[in-house]
Structure 1
């Protein structure tokens, strides 16, 4: 196997984020089945939290995946893609865990959104650098 390229790095993080979204989706399905709720949250706090954990991830992950893909297209160093992907993945994992445990504020949610925003800032700066460099 050859050297890790930007494309390989992007493929890793896109793949991991797709798995994360699938797991969060399955947690919603599990809560729906457990509480026999086909639509909405049925007033069940655990289901509402699972729906928001999945929903929140779907609000943040796609735009970041576009950023990671474009970083690969402009041949940014794999390290830049790995940093963006890692911060985002850790952030979304922590946020999803925190939100699935409690509808209120939590340390995991706070760290999760901070890491997510850090990934967004890092990717944005890197993309702007490659756009004008």
Structure 2
């Protein structure tokens, strides 16, 4: 693919595309329970609906900052490194694990690994962004 101006942010595109599909699935799960429980707003006291709302919301709380950091690093370094690819893939995997863990009613390793993994990815990307900024003289 030919570049026009700047860089082609392929890591961001792939990671964002995969995350978008996961987000859609989490949204669809909320809508299905809303319809069956006939709850238009909030959770209506329905435990399953609350669980699905929180899985969806948690995804929305963490993924955007990670995608922004991936994009910023990718655009600033003008290349897609194996480390950035690995980080993008890790984000997708840990968010999937967290979503699976949120479907369980008891504490479980999927949720723990998904949450902790998300924090590791976010911290790694944050530190990476600062390193790139310092390297650019910022």
TM-score by length of 2: 0.86
Q: Give the Cα–Cα distance (whole angstroms) in 2 for the partners of residues 101 and 37 of structure 1.
A: 22
More helix per residue: 1
Higher alpha-carbon Rg = 2
Q: Does the 8 Å contact 1:20/1:93 carry over to 2?
A: yes
Which residues of structure 2 form unaligned runs of 5+? none
Q: How many residues align?
A: 130
TM-score by length of 1: 0.89
Which residues of structure 1 form unaligned runs of 5+? none
For residues 54-84 of structure 1, what are the alpha-carbon distances to aligned partners after superposition, in whole Å with 9 as ceiling and x for unaligned?
0000000111110011011112543222122
RMSD: 1.7
Equivalent residue, structure 2, for 1:60: 62
4+ aligned runs moved over 4 Å, structure 1: none
Equivalent position SS for 1:38? coil
Taking a change above 3 Å as real, the CA distance of residues 63 and 69 of structure 1, as seen in their structure-2 partners, is same
Equivalent residue, structure 1, for 2:88: 85
Q: Does the 8 Å contact 1:71/1:127 carry over to 2?
A: yes
Equivalent residue, structure 1, for 2:27: 25
